[in-house]
């Protein structure tokens, strides 16, 4: 029966242009914007950090993201197989995909735990138990959650099951359908919160922290942190965008979609900064509070404002939504490799990924309690996985991708792929992009990595 066999062969993918945008933006927007971006900006000097981050996004993020999506769509396969079939036989470029799978597990291990706190806080916010204007109370509440091994594990497993459930539905009926519904809600909630925060008495001070640079704060380590954030934020250097690129429609304008995703992602980070920093200053909190910033500051901030209870629930719901789209895209990397490379059925691949993650991820869930003293290189597993992925694997993946496109794949194939086989014309821009991918980005990333890691 030819119809069923060709239906079996047809690969699942995104079905509409809006779906492509929602899923890709859903991957980029996440805890990176609402949790990581504010606390890194707060701890590393505010506006000067923001400036370096913007430069990294343009000079590194944009070219790498375009390259990844392009390769994925050209090959229409998972992250490992795509590089296998695009590269000349015998060359090990597929290792980019293999390290991507490794990075996906490392990232998801700590990411799912932060998401676990967020999901827990949605319910705590509804119940009102964390609503207190006294930071001592809100920090005690957060410390209690982190130090409770049972709660930490159960919330994490709950999150994993939730994400696994959506992945089981597939690419178009799962990832695309869910992100299409959730992304508009996220933007709406974020705008409401940003406006609310700007109306607070200390708003001006928060904004000046976010927008006045202090260049004395910029060190090699801070530059690497900012670049690592750019990789993490745009979900690049670890195979997610190759995988999603393989689900892109053939007539999708890749550079334009990438620019839109980047712009919207920056907009969300800025809104999150605008929602958080004015409030932080208005209520006299410490902007450099670190990873717990949103969990301690935000409840106290909301407790001090009219209708704070409602706004706090909205805040954690929107953060949970953002985290969901990102987690779907992290897990899709190993799932698609198992399906595409090893012929495992999708349900089995999802199940296997979840089980492995429950095991690896538990080291992060327990790093605030039972495993608090278990350290490698002076870091607990939560911090170690975060640092290794953002400062090593993703930047190294970015370099390798640029070298592959710039020196192996070459300009003609890139022009053909990005112009949708000649339908879109922009020779000048494509040549400039190719130059950046061939020389500028790989060198820049290498220099930042080496100096940031203290090699010179």
The CA-atom distances, in angstroms, between 434 and each of 63, 160, 282 are: 9, 39, 46
Rounded to a whole number of angstroms, the minimum distance from the CB of residue 132 to ligand PHE is 28
326: contact with ligand PHE by CB under 6 A: yes
Pick one of 26, 30, 299, 368: the residue that binds ligand PHE (CB under 6 A): 30
Quote the least distance from Cβ 242 to ligand PHE, whole Å: 11
SS3 label, residue 239: coil
- If one asks whether residue 62 binds ligand PHE (CB under 6 A), the answer comes out as no
Identified binder of ligand PHE from the candidate list 330, 366, 381, 445, rule CB under 6 A: 330
How far is the C-alpha of 456 from the C-alpha of 387, rounded, in Å? 19
DSSP code of residue 11: P
Residue 185 or 199 with smaller CB distance to ligand PHE: 185
Nearer to ligand PHE, 33 or 197 (CB): 33
Of residues 236 and 417, the one with the C-beta less far from ligand PHE = 236
Tell me which of 48, 240, 257, 336 binds ligand PHE, using CB under 6 A. Answer: 240
Interaction between residue 243 and ligand PHE (CB under 6 A)? no
Tokens representing 154 are 């159960």
C-alpha to C-alpha distance for 207 and 192, rounded to whole angstroms: 17
- Rounded to a whole number of angstroms, the minimum distance from the CB of residue 108 to ligand PHE is 9
User: Which one, 83 or 101, has the nearer CB to ligand PHE?
Assistant: 101
- Which pair of tokens denotes residue 138? 């809100």
CB of 104 to ligand PHE, least distance (A): 7
Residue 175 DSSP class: I
Inter-residue contact 394 to 68 (CB < 8 Å):
no
Strands, DSSP E only, in 215-314?
Answer: none
Least distance to ligand PHE from the beta carbon of 272, Å?
Answer: 11
Question: What are phi and psi for residue 380, nearest 5 degrees?
Answer: -75, 170
As measured in angstroms, the least distance from the Cβ of 36 to ligand PHE is 7
Three-point CA angle 272, 36, 394, nearest 5°: 130
Q: Which of 23, 25, 28, 186 binds ligand PHE (CB under 6 A)?
A: 28
Using rule CB under 6 A, residue 337 touches ligand PHE: no
Which two tokens mark 106? 């490392």
Residues 81, 97: Cα–Cα separation, whole Å: 8
Minimum CB distance to ligand PHE, residue 308 (Å): 26
Contact string (CB under 6 A) for ligand PHE, positions 204-233, x = contact: ----------------------------xx
Q: Please choose, out of 155-163, 248-256, 290-298, 322-330, the segment that lies near ligand PHE by the rule CB under 6 A.
A: 322-330
Binds ligand PHE by CB under 6 A, chosen from 107, 116, 146, 296: 107
Nearer to ligand PHE, 31 or 399 (CB): 31
Minimum CB distance to ligand PHE smaller for 222 or for 322: 322
The answer to whether the CB of 275 falls within 8 A of the CB of 267 is no
Interacting span for ligand PHE (CB under 6 A) from 28-36, 87-95, 218-226, 425-433? 28-36
Residues 343-372 that bind ligand PHE (CB under 6 A): none
How far CA 327 is from CA of 175, 256, 333, in Å, comes to 10, 24, 10
| Contacting residue, 32, 135, 174, 194, with ligand PHE by CB under 6 A | 32
Query: For the stretch 190-215, what's the b/e string if a residue is b when 16 or more beta carbons lie within 10 angstroms of its beta carbon?
Result: beebbebbeebebbeebbebbeeeee
27 binds ligand PHE (CB under 6 A): yes
Tokens standing for 277?
């920093």
Other CB atoms within a 10 A radius of the CB of residue 16 amount to 13
Whole-number Cα distances in Å, 21 to 65, 73, 161, 265: 14, 15, 25, 12
Compare residues 40 and 436 and give the one whose CB is closer to ligand PHE.
Answer: 40
Backbone angles phi, psi at 172, to 5 degrees: -80, -40
From CA 306, how far away is CA 50, in angstroms rounded?
31
In the complex, least distance from residue 442 CB atom to ligand PHE, rounded to whole angstroms: 20
In the numeric block, which tokens belong to residue 85?
């079939």
Quick check: 86 and 288 in contact, CB under 8 A? Answer: no
How many amino acids of this chain bind ligand PHE (CB under 6 A)?
A: 15
Contact residues toward ligand PHE (CB under 6 A) are: 27-28, 30-33, 107, 232-233, 235, 238, 240, 326, 329-330
């Amino acid at each position: 029966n030819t119809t069923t066999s060709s239906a079996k062969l047809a690969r699942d993918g995104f079905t509409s242009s809006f779906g492509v945008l929602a899923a890709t933006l859903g991957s980029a927007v996440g805890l990176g914007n609402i949790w990581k971006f504010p606390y890194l900006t707060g701890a590393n000097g505010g506006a000067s950090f923001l400036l370096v981050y913007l430069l990294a996004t343009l000079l590194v993020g944009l070219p790498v993201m375009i390259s990844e999506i392009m390769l994925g769509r050209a090959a229409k396969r998972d992250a490992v197989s795509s590089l296998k079939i695009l590269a000349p036989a015998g060359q090990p470029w597929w290792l980019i995909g293999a390290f991507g799978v490794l990075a996906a597990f490392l990232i998801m291990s700590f990411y799912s735990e932060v998401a676990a706190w967020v999901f827990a806080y949605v319910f705590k916010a509804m119940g009102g138990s964390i609503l207190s204007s006294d930071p001592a109370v809100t920090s005690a509440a957060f410390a209690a959650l982190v130090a409770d091994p049972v709660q930490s594990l159960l919330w994490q497993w709950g999150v994993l099951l939730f994400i696994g459930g959506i992945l089981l539905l597939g690419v178009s009926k799962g990832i695309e359908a869910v992100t299409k519904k959730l992304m508009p809600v996220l933007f709406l909630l974020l705008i409401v919160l940003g406006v609310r925060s700007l109306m607070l008495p200390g708003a001006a001070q928060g904004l000046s922290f976010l927008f006045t640079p202090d260049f004395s704060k910029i060190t090699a380590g801070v530059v690497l942190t900012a670049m690592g954030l750019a990789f993490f934020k745009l979900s690049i250097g670890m195979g997610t965008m190759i995988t999603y690129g393989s689900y892109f429609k053939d007539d999708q304008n890749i550079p334009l979609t990438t620019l839109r995703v980047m712009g919207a992602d920056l907009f969300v980070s800025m809104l999150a900064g605008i929602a958080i920093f004015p409030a932080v200053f208005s209520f006299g909190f410490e902007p450099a509070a670190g990873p717990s910033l949103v969990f301690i500051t935000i409840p106290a901030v909301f407790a001090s404002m009219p209708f704070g209870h409602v706004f706090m629930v909205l805040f954690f719901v929107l953060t949970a939504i953002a985290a969901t789209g990102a987690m779907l895209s992290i897990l899709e990397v190993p799932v698609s490799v198992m399906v595409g490379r090893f012929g495992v059925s999708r349900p089995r691949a999802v199940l296997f990924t979840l089980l492995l993650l429950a095991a690896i991820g538990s080291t992060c869930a327990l790093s605030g309690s039972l495993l608090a003293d278990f350290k490698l290189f002076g870091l607990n597993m939560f911090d170690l996985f975060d640092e290794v992925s953002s400062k090593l694997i993703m930047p190294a993946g970015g370099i390798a991708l640029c070298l592959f496109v710039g020196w192996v794949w070459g300009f003609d194939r890139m022009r053909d792929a990005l112009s949708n086989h000649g339908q879109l014309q922009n020779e000048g821009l494509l040549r400039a992009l190719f130059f950046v991918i061939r020389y500028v980005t790989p060198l820049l990333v290498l220099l930042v990595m080496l100096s940031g890691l203290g090699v010179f």
